[in-house]
Every structure is written in C-alpha cells, then in structure tokens.
Structure 1
C-alpha cells in the first residue's frame, strides 16, 4: 500500500485548539511526505445599518485579520521546521462553507474544536460540526484538551492507532482507511469494539433477565468474530494489530481507551449532522470529549 495522504487542508483561527490542530496536521504531513495549505477564514456577515456599528465592526475585523496573519505566520514557520511544503491563505466568507468547498481538492481536513468566541467560532456545534457533517473527505479533529506527547529525540509520533468499530459498512471503511494509514506510518493498530450492557427494568422477572443476557451474549459473540476479521485484514495488510473487546457505555469506553493511543479513527453515516455519525450519538460524544485527536472517515450513502 502506498501513502495516500498527499495534500492537507489545515484550518486555524489562532486559538489554542487550532494551534494544536496545526501541530498535529503538520506532524502527520511530515511523516507522510504530504504538503499543506493552511487556511484562516475571515468571517464576514451582513453589514449593519448603523454607521457606528459599522465602524466598530471594521475595527474588529482589522484585529481579526491581524491575529489571523500571525497564526498563519506561526504555522508556516512550524511547517518549515518540519520540512513540510505549505502555502497560507486568508480568504473571506463563512469558515465552514469555505472549508467544505475546498475539501474535495485535499486528502485530509484538519481543524480544532473550541476557540475564542466572537467573530470567529471554531466550536463544536458550528464550524467543526458543519465540516464533519458535510465534508466528502476525512476530517481530523483536535480537541482543546489534547496534550501533545513529549517524545524522545528522533522518536516518530503517531505509532499507536485506535480504530473503533461496530461492524457496520461505514466502520469497515474506516478500518480499511486506518490500515492504509498505519501502513504508511509504520504504526500498530488496536481494534476496539464496545458491547453495551442492557438495562434491566426494575422488577424484571427471571424470563426477561435471561432473555436480555442471551442478547448480550450474542452481541459479544458477534463482536469477537468481527474483531478477529479485522485482525485478519491487518495481517493481510502487513500491519501489527491487537483487538480489545469492552463492555459498558461506548462513549466512556472509547474515550478512555483513546487516551492510550496517538490517534483514534471512526467512521460516519452520511452527511446530515453529528447525530448520524457512526454509532449515532456515541461518535458525537466521542468527538466532543476525546482528548486524543479523532480522524473521522466519511462513508458515502449508497
């Protein structure tokens, strides 16, 4: 398998979270031999009718433009240090629209969640959500709580990938994608499946409890078989892989397990909102809470 990430689009608003996203994106680009376009979008809306408001808005936009240029300069300097070819742009418009419109020309979109409030809002529920739900290309999301690891000199980052899977077609696509990425990085992967424990209604009789236990046992058996299939795919691809089966609340389990890895991969169902991400609200919760960067792989609708 050949490296398949060649052109990255990295969005920044100068916030702490996007600074972290810039670092993650450029480090991955350096590892994969990719180039990067670093983008700072100046968000312009309708002009207010009041002259005084227009003057104040112009001042805010000038400040915003200045901060954006500083963020781009810092990102470009980091790219030079890492040996990544890059160019910087500062277009105007709605950030999510600009990013999604440019997405087809790139192999990976990188952005942070949460940022400074005001004219620019890189927050889950606005820019990040819109990009995740509409991007035709994979999106790497870096949360503001992410702490980049301290590596030994000459150590290669992103050597342990976690792939969360639920056996769906979309998570299968994320698996294929994750294996290609792991091969390109020389990384190891862990496949994770979480079996939810069914709630026993208060006063449930013996028959109902036994029925629910049988359902849980069947789900676990299917998950075990699915994980072994994933391990076999990894072996065929020449990627070292482990499997892990957990019971409990999927969001909690995935977020906790992700802390032990450098990167988490998940798949999506369609492009109609975060509630349509793989495993429904599970992926939404993971993206919102994960302290590990999350690479979301889109699954085109049939």
Structure 2
C-alpha cells in the first residue's frame, strides 16, 4: 500500500468524563503501533467559560500524558466539523457507554456528531473493551445491500499498517445475499443474536462496521446490532461513517 494512503494520526475527543477518558490509553496504544502523532481534543460547551475546569478534570482523570501529545480545547457545537478538518487521514478514537436514547442515538455527548461528520474512520471504545489494545486481525461485517467500498478500503488500510489479517464476513440471516469469493458466510444459530455471532467469530479481532445514515448512528443502531456490538465487544469497533470515502 503506498505511504500516501496510510493513516497519519490518531485524534481522541474527550468531554472531561471518566467514560470518555477511557479512549485515551487505547488511542495512545494505537498511535504507538502505527507510529503516528496523537492529539487529544477536550470538548466543552462554552470554550470561554468551561475550558479551564475541563482541562483540570481531564488532568485529574488521566494524570500526566506522555510528552509530545498535542492537547487542544474545542467547542461542542463545532466538534463534528473540527474532527472532519483535524482528522483528514487520521483516525478518531472515542469512548461511549453504548446506551440507547429514545431516538436510537448512542449515549455520549459527542458520539453521533463525530461519526456523522468524520471523513475518516472512528474507533469506538465500548464499555466492555479491555484496557489494552490487543488486535490480531480486523473482521469486516459485510452488508451486501450497501456499497462496502469505503468500509473495506479503510479496514484494509488499518490492517496493513497494524500488520494484521483482514477478514471479510457476512452473517446469514436468510436474506440470500450474493457474496464475493473472499467473503465468509457465517450461519446464525436459532437462539443467537447477530451481534453475538459476530463477536464470537471475531474472538481477538477488531470488528469493522459501516454507518450509512447521514444522521450518524440512526441507521447503525436501529435494529440493535451495532448497539449490541458496542456494548459487548472486547476490542474497539471500527466505524466508517457516511462521509468517509
């Protein structure tokens, strides 16, 4: 893969909460494995009023960060645009509690905004994720009803840089989907959830999924497959949103 196509950085947006701070060690480990810079963006509602307190909260939660990590404060209303501008060929890494609101959005003030606006992938750190990043392959959940080019391309780029295997799979739910020769068909047990089948098959793998809605996570979470994946995955989940091409 040409160097120009490599991921060139890791961006971690945090909002001062201990939950969001869980993404920082994962982001740091990923940046070290990729040998790229890490930036931590502290998100505040009002940059003039809240910035000092949020920085103090983050320092108290994380302790001192390693030398060379860029830290900036950004306003919540601009986080989607900021991530899109900052990330470029970088990957955003963020934590979420993966709890559903009534409108099917994921709990977490910045999750939907980031995924819906990002032009590069977002690595979602769910509540069941191990503290250490230990990935031996990237498993792409293929949905033949949508264009999968961007999802497979981004997953392949990350797998190449991490030096791990790329595995394309599709869970057979009786849809009779036509699959390419490189896609493995996984058969679903009678009492098995799609998300559980993916996680069981992907033991030790990072799962990659696509979000097709311009509203961000609405399409992804409806039907509960991705929401369940976020809740139970032991490794971060790679999400390729609607603007990541």
TM over 0.5: yes
Q: Please give the alpha-carbon distance, in whole angstroms, between the structure 1 residues aligned to 2:92 and 2:51.
A: 25
1:139: which partner in 2? 122
Displacement of 1:285 after TM fit?
Answer: 3.6
Q: CA deviation at 1:16?
A: 4.1
Corresponding residue to 2:86 among 92, 96, 105: 105
Cα distance change of structure 1 residues 61 and 175 upon mapping to structure 2, 3 Å threshold: closer
Q: CA RMSD in A?
A: 3.3
Which residue among 148, 172, 175 is the counterpart of 2:149? Answer: 172
Match for 1:267 among 203, 210, 217? 210
- Structure with larger Rg: 1
Provide the C-alpha distance between the structure 1 equivalents of 2:163 and 2:55, rounded to a whole number of angstroms.
40
Deviates more, 1:157-166 or 1:97-106: 97-106
Alignment partner, residue 30 of structure 1: 32
Partner SS state of residue 173, structure 1: helix
The answer on 1:66 being equivalent to 2:56 is yes
Aligned length: 231
Bigger shift: residues 14-23 or 28-37 = 14-23
Name the structure 1 match of 2:195: 251
1:9 is aligned, of 8, 11, 25, to: 11
Deviations 1:191-222 (A, max 9, x none): 221112xxxxxxxxxxxxxxxxxxx3x716x3
1:68 Cα deviation after fit:
2.4
Mapped contact 1:267–1:277 kept (Cα < 8 A): yes
Is 1:296 matched with 2:239? yes
Structure 2: how far apart are the matches of 1:278 and 1:163? 17
Matched, 1:160 2:160: no
Q: Would the aligned equivalents of 1:142 and 1:292 in 2 still touch at CA under 8 Å? A: yes
Q: What is the CA-CA distance between 1:252 and the residue it aligns to? A: 2.7
Q: Secondary structure of 1:38's match?
A: strand
- 2:101 aligned residue: none
Aligned-partner SS, 2:2: coil
Task: State the alpha-carbon separation in 2 of the partners of residues 252 and 113 from structure 1.
Answer: 19
Query: Are the counterparts in 2 of residues 111 and 128 from structure 1 also a CA contact under 8 Å?
Result: yes
CA contact (8 A) 1:166 1:279 kept: no
Where in structure 2 are there 5+ consecutive unaligned residues? 99-105
Q: Distance in 1 between matches of 2:58 and 2:136?
A: 32
TM alignment of 1:173-188, pairs within 5 A:
173-188=150-165
CA distance in 1, matches of 2:171, 2:197: 7
User: Residues 17 and 58 of structure 2 are in contact (CA less than 8 Å); yes or no, is this contact kept in structure 1?
Assistant: no
User: Within 5 A, what are the aligned runs for 1:178-217?
Assistant: 178-196=155-173, 216=174
Distance 1:98 1:263, change over 3 A: same
**Aligned with residue 182 of structure 2, among 210, 229, 232:** 229
Ranges in structure 1 where 5+ consecutive residues have no aligned partner: 46-57, 116-122, 151-156, 197-215, 231-242
